[in-house]
Amino acid sequence: MRVAVVTGGSSGIGAALAHRLAERSYHCVLIARGRERLELLAGETGCEAEVCDVADRAAVEAAARRIGERHPAVHLLVNNAGVPGRAGFLELEPERIEEVMRINYLGGVWCLRAFLPLLEAGAPSAVVNVASVAGTVSGGPSGPYSASKHAQVAFSRTVSAELAPRGIRTVTVNPGLTDTEGFPQDRFLDHPVWRHAVVSAERVAAAIVAALDSGRGEIFVPGYYRAATALQGLAPGTVTRLASRRPPGRYTRDR
């Protein structure tokens, strides 16, 4: 039995991925902060539910111990939990800036460290870090979120060298505009041009499964977002100006 642990598993990309992994005979353990929706989805998919805030290192370590008592090995860890920022460094409350960094970046670090013995026991195994195009391109009004995702991308890319000798591969996933309950993209979906850049959680989940099958180490969803990363290095000022443009109305984009 292949065991997968998915954080942020109660909605959005995490929920879509849980369905796909269950179809592929993974036994999933879903982690999220809210109990009601988590247990509902777990019941629908035949998964286990673990209520845990990934920003709390002690809570993550306790959850890993509980899961380890039930499963001697984990074959896949998906660090997907994330929260939006939706304001700049000078506007967002200090407490929210700290929360964004703790969940989006440190949450993945704490989960990897806590589940490492189980991943080694399940080797060959894999870690999927769901970051964002915002972690490869600087600009736009959601700076704290972008900074947290830059940190997550750097973590994912660099830790791959540490994990490879242990039989654990790493996949860095950079979705673009993804419409989910936690990251609504209403203004973009209503825009005649930007709406074509919005993808669904199901599309991202399908891309993750495809990357696991193909052995790819980093993907962008859709793939054309990779060009923005290349342009960032060549013309950072231009990318910053373009990223700062947005459809009229309230800005709701992070991932």
Render pLDDT for 35-76 as a digit per residue (tens, 0 to 9): 999 999 999 999 999 999 999 999 999 999 999 999 999 999
Q: Out of 145, 224, 225, 251, which one is annotated catalytic?
A: 145
pLDDT on residue 172 = 98
Q: What percent of the chain has pLDDT over 70?
A: 80
Tens-digit pLDDT profile for residues 94-135 = 999 999 999 999 999 999 999 999 999 999 999 999 999 889
pLDDT on residue 189 = 43
pLDDT on residue 224 = 73
pLDDT on residue 235 = 56
CB 138 within 8 A of CB 243: yes
Res 181 pLDDT > 80: no
Res 249 pLDDT > 50: no
Burial of 21: CB neighbours in 10 Å, binned 0-12, 13-18, 19+: buried
Task: Name the average pLDDT for the chain.
Answer: 87
Return the structure tokens found at 136. Answer: 């490869």
Q: Which domains does the chain have, with CATH numbers?
A: 2-244 (3.40.50.720)
Q: What is the mean pLDDT of residues 217-234?
A: 77
More confident residue, 148 or 140: 148
> What confidence category does residue 248 fall into, taking pLDDT thresholds of 50, 70 and 90?
very low
Predicted model pTM: 0.87
CA distance 180 to 178: 6
CA distance 103 to 87: 17
Does residue 145 have an active-site annotation? Answer: yes
Res 3 pLDDT > 70: yes
